């Protein structure tokens, strides 16, 4: 089969891909924000020293990290309507699942960032009369976020790549847009090559920016 370069037109992007790209980016942003928020809570629970907080958080994090994301997507999409008694859309299922899944990974990143801060910082905060929550919010977490920023952004890039898995529940992401165009025009090979090229350009560009940011942070230190 000959490779048809005429397949690559602006209408391919505007009619098929753009909608999926917007959803992929939006899902990445929402899942990153939610994942960092809930991941930080999980990390604090594991570091609290309280078993009634640490044990459930540890079970959740280790459990989520032991299951493929596509399986979690399918489970939630298929079981949520049975449990709630009402249908749950593919897009909403993807958002909830990604936040819940990524929280486990961001939790480990934040836990490592918190533990990287010298204990002297904690003792200094205690000496100033700060409570545990004040110490974490004002002293420890800002430094941990700065130290872990390159790793957090790298995980975000991986998250963007993982958005292609929403095809399993029928959500319309960027890959789905290319796949639909390939089927409609009878050019699946050209469609998948274009999809791979777009993913590569976006992820390579973001990786390059993360690398530069890592160097700047290293200089500040």
- For residue 219, is pLDDT > 70? no
Mean pLDDT of 67-92: 91
CATH of 22-173, one of 3.40.50.300, 3.40.50.620, 1.10.3720.10, 3.40.50.970: 1.10.3720.10
CA angle 154, 74, 26 (to 5 degrees): 40
Band (pLDDT 50/70/90 cuts) for residue 26 is: very high
User: Domain map of the chain by residue range?
Assistant: 22-173
Of the chain, the percentage scoring pLDDT greater than 70 comes to: 98
Q: pTM for the full model?
A: 0.90
Q: Name the average pLDDT for the chain.
A: 90
- Is residue 166 within 8 Å of residue 38, measured between CB atoms? no
Mean pLDDT of 170-199: 92
Q: What is the largest CA-CA distance in the chain?
A: 73
State the virtual CA torsion across 184, 189, 193, 199 in degrees, nearest 10.
50
Please name which of 160, 173, 163, 166 lies closest in space to residue 207, comparing C-alpha atoms: 160
Of the chain, the percentage scoring pLDDT greater than 90 comes to: 60
């Amino acid at each position: 089969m000959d490779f048809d370069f005429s397949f690559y037109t602006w209408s391919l992007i505007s009619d098929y891909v753009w909608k999926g790209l917007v959803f992929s980016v939006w899902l990445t942003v929402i899942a990153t924000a939610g994942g960092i928020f809930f991941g930080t809570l999980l990390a604090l629970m594991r570091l609290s020293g309280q078993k009634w907080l640490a044990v459930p958080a540890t079970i959740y994090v280790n459990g989520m990290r032991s299951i493929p994301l596509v399986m979690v997507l399918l489970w939630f999409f298929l079981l949520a309507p049975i449990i709630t008694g009402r249908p749950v859309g593919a897009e909403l299922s993807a958002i909830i699942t990604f936040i819940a899944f990524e929280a486990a990974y961001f939790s480990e990143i934040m836990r490592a960032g918190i533990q990287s801060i010298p204990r002297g910082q904690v003792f200094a905060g205690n000496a100033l009369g700060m409570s545990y929550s004040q110490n974490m919010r004002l002293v420890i977490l800002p430094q941990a976020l700065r130290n872990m920023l390159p790793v957090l952004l790298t995980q975000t890039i991986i998250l963007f790549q993982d958005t292609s898995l929403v095809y399993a529940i029928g959500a319309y992401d960027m890959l789905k847009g290319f796949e639909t165009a390939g089927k409609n025009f009878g050019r699946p090979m050209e469609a998948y090559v274009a999809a791979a090229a777009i993913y590569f350009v976006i992820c390579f560009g973001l990786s390059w920016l993360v690398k530069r940011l890592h160097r700047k942070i290293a200089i500040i230190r």
